[in-house]
């Protein structure tokens, strides 16, 4: 009989212990696998949350950048508009008949401001806009104005230039502040070479306001 057969009780204990270790190993491995499976979705959820947070931060930063860029652009546009502003229609002038002045030259009181200048003096748009009248017969306002131009501006006002010797624009022309639009003359009801200038609330005769006061409010002093 072998040495192992002589101790059946001890052998049984050893076998049971070995079996127990096997069961423990099996169940231990199973528990580890279950734990790993439970942790996998958690890791995925965490990664997704981190990605979503990063995307949200990126979108927020892009939005803030776009808002800032729009504000800078608006400020630049406002500054540019202010820099252009309004200007005088001619230079090298002498002021003669003023707004609302009475006299035998006019059926009613004078509707604008006269700038005495030599024939052929450059006449410029006092502000950017669109030409709505241009031609003889006051551009449609009557023969007293001679050759004339009316420009509509973005703020709803109109500027008129009359007694011109030459017109360089036509109806529908887009003009910029300071752009050459005509040359002064002595056409129409005129007592001498000059530019008749008006500021109006409509394109038509009878809606004029004091042009000197208007330009003064825009920072232009004549």
Written as one string, the DSSP assignment of the chain is: --TTTT-HHHHHHHHHHHHHHHHHHHHHHHHHHHHHHHHHHHHHHHHHHHHHHHHHHHHHHHHHHHHHHHHHHHHHHHHHHHHH----S-SS-EE-S-TT---TT-SSS--SEEEE--TT-EEE-SS-EEEEEEESGGGGT-GGG-EEEEEE-TTS-EEEEEEEEEE---TT-EE-TT-EEEEEB--SS-SSSEEEEEEESSSSTT-EE-HHHHHHHTT---
Q: 103 with 201, same domain?
A: yes
User: How many domains does the chain fold into?
Assistant: 2
Q: 111 with 66, same domain?
A: no
Q: 46 with 68, same domain?
A: yes
- Confidence category of residue 123, pLDDT binned at 50, 70, 90: very high
Q: 24 with 105, same domain?
A: no
Instruction: Judge whether 222 lies within some domain.
Output: no
Average pLDDT of every residue of the chain: 84
Instruction: Judge whether 99 lies within some domain.
Output: yes
Q: 138 with 40, same domain?
A: no
Q: 75 with 113, same domain?
A: no
From 127, 153, 163, 194, active-site residue = 194
Please indicate whether residue 208 or residue 23 has the higher confidence score (pLDDT).
Answer: 208
Question: Which range marks the domain in which residue 131 is found?
Answer: 94-217
Q: What is the pTM of this model?
A: 0.64
Instruction: Judge whether 151 lies within some domain.
Output: yes
Q: Is 194 a catalytic residue?
A: yes
């Amino acid at each position: 009989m072998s040495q192992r057969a002589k101790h059946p009780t001890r052998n049984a204990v050893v076998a049971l212990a070995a079996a127990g270790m096997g069961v423990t190993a099996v169940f231990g491995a199973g528990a580890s696998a279950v734990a790993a499976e439970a942790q996998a979705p958690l890791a995925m959820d965490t990664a997704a949350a981190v990605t979503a947070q990063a995307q949200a931060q990126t979108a927020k930063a892009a939005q803030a950048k776009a808002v800032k860029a729009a504000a800078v652009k608006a400020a630049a546009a406002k500054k540019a508009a202010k820099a252009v502003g309004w200007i005088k229609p001619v230079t090298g002038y002498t002021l003669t008949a003023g707004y609302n002045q009475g006299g035998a030259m006019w059926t009613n009181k004078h509707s604008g401001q006269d700038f005495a200048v030599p024939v052929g003096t450059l006449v410029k748009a006092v502000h950017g806009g669109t030409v709505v009248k241009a031609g003889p017969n006051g551009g449609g306002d009557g023969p007293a104005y001679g050759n004339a131009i009316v420009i509509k501006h973005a703020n709803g006002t109109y500027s008129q230039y009359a007694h011109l010797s030459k017109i360089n624009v036509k109806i529908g022309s887009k003009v910029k502040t300071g752009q050459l639009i005509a040359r002064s003359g002595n056409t129409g009801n005129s007592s001498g070479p000059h530019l008749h200038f008006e500021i109006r609330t409509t394109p038509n005769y009878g809606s004029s306001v004091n042009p000197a006061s208007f330009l003064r409010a825009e920072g232009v002093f004549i």
